[in-house]
């Protein structure tokens, strides 16, 4: 029996309506992306259209022959038929741990009329945040834990509902965004853990976070993680990761001080 890699970008992702299909699949990488342009469709679910100029974010799984056939049925794909809802192709999927050749489902050319609007920031989960959630959890790490910066920006009223210390497993802290004076903090999927502060924020707080992290300019991107906070599991917690990761570069002293100031109350011994 052969195993296959499958990149998922919509309702099959963690905590989405069809995620149960992948309950017994191996998650290879939660932070994954591939070339393509992601759209909403007339029936609400997302669909990927081939494009070398755009990328779409999702998750990468390893599945069995049997499960791949179930996914084909879900996506309306039959390799023996000419007219399908989706096409399944092999193409490169990128992760923090390297690149893989994976199955990717694309909308069939005959069905492109079903596409409506591009998905916000090429990420289905971000698009759903935009449209469905009045509040969200936010995981702050690095200098983002410095409350003085919230006060200076006049947004500290958003950040009063502190849930506690969050521990993000299977990630490590890096300084992979380079500025003229040194590196800035990032999370890299793989091994280790990262500590930070978890907040519950009103939806309108995202405007400050996206501006601060340079999301619209492609510096950082918003993503979702599962973590442990004060002994409890929290799912789909918003955080930010560097879009174009570089090799580690030491942070400047003033930035290191911001990180140190924000670490008050965190314990490196928590798990």
- What are the catalytic residues? 75
Token pair 């314990």 is found at: 267
SS3 track for the chain: CCEEEEEECCCCCCCCCCHHHHCCCEEEEEEEEEECEEEEECCCCEEEECCCCCEEEEEEEEEEHHHHHHHHHHCCCCCCCCCCCEEEEEEEEEECCEEEEEEEEEECHHHHHHEEEECHHHCHHHHHHHHHCCEEEEEECHHHHCHHHHHHCCCHHHHCCEEEEEEEEEEEEEEEEEECCEEEEEEEEEEEEEEEEEEEEEHHHHHHHHHHCCCCCCCEEEEEEEEEECCEEEEEEEEEEECCCCCCCCCCHHHHHHHHHHCCCCCCCCC
Residue 261: closest CA among 137, 142, 135, 166: 142
Which residues neighbour 55 within 8 Å (Cβ) at sequence distance 6 or greater?
A: 33, 34, 35, 36, 122
Query: 236's torsion region: left (phi>0), alpha (psi -120 to 50) or beta?
Result: left
């Amino acid at each position: 029996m052969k195993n296959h890699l499958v990149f998922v970008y919509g309702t099959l992702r963690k905590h989405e309506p069809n995620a149960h299909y992948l309950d017994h699949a191996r998650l290879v990488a939660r932070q994954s992306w591939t070339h393509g342009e992601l759209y909403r469709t007339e029936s609400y679910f997302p669909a990927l259209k081939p494009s070398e100029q755009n990328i779409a974010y999702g998750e990468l799984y390893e599945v069995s022959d049997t499960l791949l056939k179930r996914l084909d049925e879900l996506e309306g794909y039959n390799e023996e038929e000419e007219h399908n809802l989706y096409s399944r192709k092999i193409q490169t999927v990128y992760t923090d741990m390297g690149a893989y050749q994976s199955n990717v489902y694309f909308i069939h050319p005959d069905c492109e009329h079903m596409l409506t609007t591009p998905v916000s920031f090429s990420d289905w989960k971000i698009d759903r945040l935009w449209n469905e959630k009045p509040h969200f959890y936010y995981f702050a790490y690095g200098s983002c834990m410095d409350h003085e910066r919230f006060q200076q920006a006049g947004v500290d009223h958003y950040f009063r509902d502190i849930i506690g210390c969050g521990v993000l497993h299977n990630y490590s802290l890096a300084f992979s965004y380079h500025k003229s004076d040194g590196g800035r903090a990032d999370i890299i999927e793989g091994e280790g853990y990262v500590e930070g502060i978890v907040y519950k924020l009103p939806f309108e707080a995202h405007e400050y976070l996206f501006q601060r992290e340079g999301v619209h300019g492609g510096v950082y991107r918003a993503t979702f993680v599962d973590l442990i906070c004060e002994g409890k599991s929290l799912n789909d917690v918003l955080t930010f990761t560097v879009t174009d990761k570089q090799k580690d570069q030491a942070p400047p002293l003033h930035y290191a001080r911001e990180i140190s100031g924000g670490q008050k109350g965190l314990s490196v011994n928590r798990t």
